[in-house]
């Protein structure tokens, strides 16, 4: 081989790449739990999600126009991590503590501490 590189060196590099890709895959597969909910005509909603633990963080994404409008206004919905109930669910609240119209649809991802 030219430059002092042997086929054994190339095999070692190939194995290292495969190991790194396997590690990245494991992280991505274990990244979080996903789901969806529809907001009721209320200022607070408990979303049933058994994957929640005390330190869970929840990212919300609007999936219809009503939800996007809610997120763009003073009622913007947020996850209250202090209200997590391990093995049961999480709570979302409107920022101004007044009721949403109802019917706003959201997707979510739950990220648990490792």
Question: What residues make up the domain containing 94?
Answer: 32-111
Q: Are residue 55 and residue 44 in the same domain, yes or no?
A: yes
Q: In this structure, what are the phi and psi dihedrals at residue 109, rounded to the nearest 5 degrees?
A: -130, 130
Q: Are residue 81 and residue 66 in the same domain, yes or no?
A: yes
pLDDT for 13 = 84
Q: Are residue 48 and residue 98 in the same domain, yes or no?
A: yes
pLDDT for 84 = 95
Q: Are residue 52 and residue 17 in the same domain, yes or no?
A: no
Q: What is the CATH number of the domain that holds 94?
A: 2.60.40
Q: Are residue 50 and residue 87 in the same domain, yes or no?
A: yes
Q: Are residue 4 and residue 19 in the same domain, yes or no?
A: yes
Which of these, 111, 113, 114, lies nearest to 34 by C-alpha position?
Answer: 111
Q: Give residue-wise pLDDT tens across range 47-82.
A: 999 999 988 999 999 999 999 999 999 999 999 999
Q: Is the pLDDT of residue 31 over 70?
A: no
pLDDT for 81 = 95
Does the model's pTM come out above 0.75?
Answer: no
Could you give the number of structural domains in the chain? 2
Q: Are residue 82 and residue 40 in the same domain, yes or no?
A: yes
Q: Are residue 49 and residue 87 in the same domain, yes or no?
A: yes
Helix, strand or coil, per DSSP, at residue 109: strand
| Range of 17-21, 30-34, 87-91 with top mean pLDDT | 87-91
Outline where 1-114 has alpha helix (H): 7-29, 65-71
Q: Give residue-wise pLDDT tens across range 5-17.
A: 787 788 888 888 8
Which of these, 75, 68, 76, 72, lies nearest to 106 by C-alpha position?
Answer: 68
């Amino acid at each position: 081989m030219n430059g002092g590189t042997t086929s054994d060196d190339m095999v070692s590099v190939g194995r290292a790449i495969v190991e790194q890709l396997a590690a990245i895959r494991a992280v991505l597969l274990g990244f979080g739990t996903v789901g969806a909910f529809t907001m009721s005509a209320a200022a607070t909603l408990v979303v049933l999600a058994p994957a929640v633990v005390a330190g869970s963080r929840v990212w919300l994404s609007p999936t219809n126009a009503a939800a996007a409008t809610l997120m763009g206004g003073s009622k913007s919905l947020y996850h209250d991590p202090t209200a997590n109930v391990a093995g049961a669910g999480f709570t979302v609240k409107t920022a101004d503590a007044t009721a949403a119209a109802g019917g706003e649809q959201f997707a979510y991802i739950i990220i648990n501490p490792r």
